[in-house]
Amino acid sequence: MYPNLYYAFKDLFGIDIPGLRFINSFGFFVALAFLGAAWTLTLELRRKSKAGLLQYEETQITIGQPASISDLLTNFILGFLLGYKIIGAFVVGPEDPQAFIFSSDGSLPTGLLVGALFAGLKWWEKKKQQLPKPEQRTIRIWPQDRVGDFVVFAAIFGFLGAKIFHNLENWNEFKADPIGALLSFSGLTFYGGLICAAVAIGWYARKHKISLRHLCDATAPGLMLAYAVGRIGCQVAGDGDWGIANSKPNPFSWLPDWAWAYKYPHNVLNEGVPIPGCVGQYCNELAQAHYPTPLYETIAGLLLFTLLWSIRKKITVPGRLFAVYLIVNGLERFFIEKIRVNTKYDILGFHPTQAELISTGLVIAGVILWFWMPKLKAPASKGQVA
């Protein structure tokens, strides 16, 4: 396992870069997941715009103004934070990245240098565009131009939702250490992030008169791809999303033993028992080998992404592709829960997990949407919401 990129580079390439301790392996793959989802979303929104299914929104902007004090100050602050903490982590080389982030430690010279650089670049950018007299212009913004905003909303509200749902699922742990639970980099629930991000993006889409049904269809393949890539991070870091203990012998001669049952040595949570002879921060492994469920979900996610991507042009009723996503995503998660370690509820003698309840709801919602979508009017054009 590679809790952060420092261990990966040191083991795979023999390179010792202390600053890489700052880049959590799970976070790295989550970033790749967002990039993959943004890429597929951009392609789909552009395709739908060219087909006349989505419309632009006109907005007024002022061009030719010099950089304001607020512009320069904002860019200096952003650059200072980047230099002080992020780039500063490579300069300082902290042993404990998590403690470093939530401390006042950093590199002051690097922060000041990067802050000044950001402010200078903003001043130069505005200087090149400056006009003798600033002008008001009307520009057209298409839905694909807002993908960056979608990603920001998904990242912020997705993270908050993932933390909230995880702590609700593990309420006793949260009550024992609420501050530690909120600040910990581990403990994220995918469905919590999905629900909260969907609400935020839905609000933003309606604000800018983007058809929700076409937007949902455009996001469906990317969501599946992001899920698959994110699970690579779970597997690489060993963040606790493994399955139940598996003491059965490997029934497939072609399948590596680690893909059947794995002890997750050097996992990021330090779960399990000490590894003999290991010295350092991450020196534990599970006492028993467990199903590597993140690996299984990565494979399933990639296959389902391929399915959604291949049928996206064949399903012509707006909203139905998203219905398919809800169904296949819910089925995949429901069945993987049977071999995953998770907190179970006690409801009228039944003992489902939070993910089983939500995934069941997603399948039901997907079936309802599949039959309901054809009964709705086609999304309106000219920027109106349907």
- Is the same domain home to 175 and 164? yes
More confident residue, 356 or 166: 356
Q: Do 188 and 332 reside in the same domain of the chain?
A: yes
Question: What percentage of the chain has pLDDT greater than the value 90?
Answer: 53
Q: What is the pLDDT of residues 209-224, one digit of tens each?
A: 999 999 999 999 999 9
Residue 102 lies inside a defined structural domain of this protein:
yes
Q: Is the same domain home to 111 and 170?
A: no
193 shares its domain with 114: no
Residues 9, 124, single domain; the answer is no
Give the orientation angle of helix 25-50 with respect to helix 5-13, to 10 degrees.
100
Judgement on whether residues 212 and 93 belong to the same structural domain of the protein: no
The predicted structure's pLDDT at residue 5: 87
Domain boundary among 93, 115, 139: 139
- Please report the pLDDT score of residue 19 as a whole number: 72
167-197 tens-digit pLDDT: 676 666 667 666 655 555 555 566 677 788 8
| Same-domain check for residues 218 and 162 | yes
Burial of 112 (0-12, 13-18, 19+ CB in 10 A): middle
Question: How does residue 385 score in pLDDT terms, banded at 50, 70 and 90?
Answer: very low
Confidence at residue 191, expressed as pLDDT on a 0 to 100 scale: 63
Domain that holds residue 123: 62-139
- pLDDT tens per residue, range 278-335: 988 889 999 999 999 999 999 999 999 999 999 999 999 999 999 999 999 999 999 9
Does 385 fall in a domain?
no
3-state secondary structure the chain: CCCEHHHHHHHHHCCCCHHHHHCEHHHHHHHHHHHHHHHHHHHHHHHHHHCCCCCCEEEEEEECCCCCHHHHHHHHHHHHHHHHHHHHHHHHCCCCHHHHHCCCCCCHHHHHHHHHHHHHHHHHHHHHHCCCCCEEEEEEECHHHHHHHHHHHHHHHHHHHHHHHHHHHCHHHHHHCHHHHHHCCCCCCHHHHHHHHHHHHHHHHHHCCCCHHHHHHHHHHHHHHHHHHHHHHHHHHCCCCCECECCCCCCCCCCCHHHCCECCCCCCCCCCEECCCCCCCCCEECCCCECCHHHHHHHHHHHHHHHHHHHCCCCCCCCHHHHHHHHHHHHHHHHHHHHECCCECCECCECCEHHHHHHHHHHHHHHHHHHHHHHCCCCCCCCCCC
Residue 94: predicted pLDDT:
59
Identify whether 381 is part of a domain. no
Do 321 and 287 lie in a common domain? yes
In the listed set 93, 111, 139, which residue is the last one of a domain according to the structure? 139
At residue 269, the pLDDT reads 87
Question: Does any domain span residue 383?
Answer: no
Check pLDDT > 70 for residue 379.
Answer: no
Q: What is the tally of structural domains in the chain?
A: 2
pLDDT digits (tens, 9 = 90+) for 101-122: 556 788 889 999 999 999 999 9
Given a cut of 60, whether residue 383 has pLDDT beyond it is no
Q: Are residues 226 and 332 in the same domain?
A: yes
pLDDT at 142 over 90: yes
48 and 79 fall within a common domain: no
Q: What is the pLDDT of residues 64-93, one digit of tens each?
A: 899 999 999 999 998 998 888 777 766 766
pLDDT at 174: 62
Domain boundary among 96, 119, 139: 139
pLDDT of residue 162: 74
The candidate with the shortest Cα–Cα distance to 28, out of 223, 186, 232, is 232
Q: Is 78 part of any domain? A: yes
In 40-52, which positions are buried (b, 16+ CB within 10 angstroms) versus exposed (e)? bbbbbbbebbeee
pLDDT 10s digits, 11-68: 888 888 877 777 788 888 988 998 999 999 999 999 999 999 999 999 888 888 999 9
Mean pLDDT calculated for residue range 129-142: 90
Is residue 70 located within the same domain as residue 50?
no
Whether residues 205 and 294 fall in one domain: yes
In a domain, 366, yes or no: yes
- Residue 357 vs residue 378, higher pLDDT: 357
| Confidence band for 386, pLDDT divided at 50, 70 and 90 | very low
Whether 214 is covered by a domain: the verdict is yes
